[in-house]
Amino acid sequence: MDTRRRTLLAAVAGLLGAGRRAQAQDAHADARARLVREVEAGFRDTAGETGRARMSPCVRQALERVQRHRFVPPSLVDSAYVDRPLPIGMGQTISQPFIVALMTELADPAPDARVLEVGTGSGYQAAVLAECVAKVYTIEIVAPLGERARALLAELGYRNVDVRIGDGYKGWPEAAPFDAIVVTAAPDHVPQPLVDQLKPGGRMVIPVGQQAGVQQLLLITKGADGRATMRRTIAVRFVPLTRER
C-alpha cells in the first residue's frame, strides 16, 4: 500500500472515529435533556410539599452539564439517565436525579456559598453542587468510595471540591461555618454537630428516620439568633448514616 493511500485511509478512520465519539456525546446530551424534563415534571408534582415548582437556572444547568454516566458502574451506564437511584457497590447508591436536584434546590445555593455534603458516595451530588457554589466540602465514611469519588471529581475538573474520608456525623469543624449542608444518608435524628456548623441564615437538607420505615426529607433553617427551625417536605428512602465505631 503506498503512502498516499495509507494517509487517506487514516484520515477516513479518524473522521469515522470522531463521528462515533460525537454521536456518543450527543446521545448522552439527549439523555440528559430527557432526564431534565422528567425532573422538572417531578418538581411540578411535588410543589405543594416542597414549595419548589421549578428548578433554578443553576440547578437546571448543573443537571444538563454533569455526566452522571461517569459516576455509575460501567455495567449501569445505559441506565445512568433514568430518574432512579442505582447501586454503586459496598451497599451504597447514587441518588435519584430528582432527589439530587431537589436537595440542591432546597439548599438555596448561591455562587459564593460554601457547602458541606455528608455522604460523598459516587460524587454525583458533590458535582451538581459544585456547578452552583464556590466551594464544596464532602465527607465519605467508606474509604474506597471516597477515594474513587475524589479521583473522578479531579479528573472531571472539579477543583472546588475537597473530599475527606471520615465520620460525617461530626461534620468538618475546621471548614465551618457553612452556608448550606446537604446530607445524603439518613440518621435517626438530626446531628447536633451539623446544626452547630451551619451559619446563621444557613440551610440544611437532611433525610431523617429509621432505615426500615419512612424517612422525611427535612429543611432546617438557622435564624440570626442561632435557633433552628424545621420543615418537612417529602417522604424519601436513603441508606442509613454510618458512624465510626
User: Which residues are tagged catalytic?
Assistant: 95
Containing H/E element for 142?
none
> What is the β-pairing status of strands 228-236 and 215-222?
antiparallel
Containing H/E element for 69?
none
Indicate the DSSP class of residue 75: G
Note the helical H segments in the chain.
3-50, 57-65, 97-106, 124-130, 143-155, 192-196
> What is the β-pairing status of strands 135-140 and 114-118?
parallel
> Cα–Cα distance between 143 and 105 in angstroms, integer?
28
Closest to 183 measured CA to CA, from 137, 229, 134, 235: 137
Indicate the DSSP class of residue 71: G
Residues 205, 208, 212, 214, CA torsion sign: negative
> Cα–Cα distance between 188 and 60 in angstroms, integer?
31
Closest to 108 measured CA to CA, from 210, 238, 231, 242: 231
| Sequence-separated (6 or more) residues with CB below 8 Å from residue 38 | 83, 97, 98
**Residues 207 and 218 sit within 8 Å (Cβ to Cβ):** yes
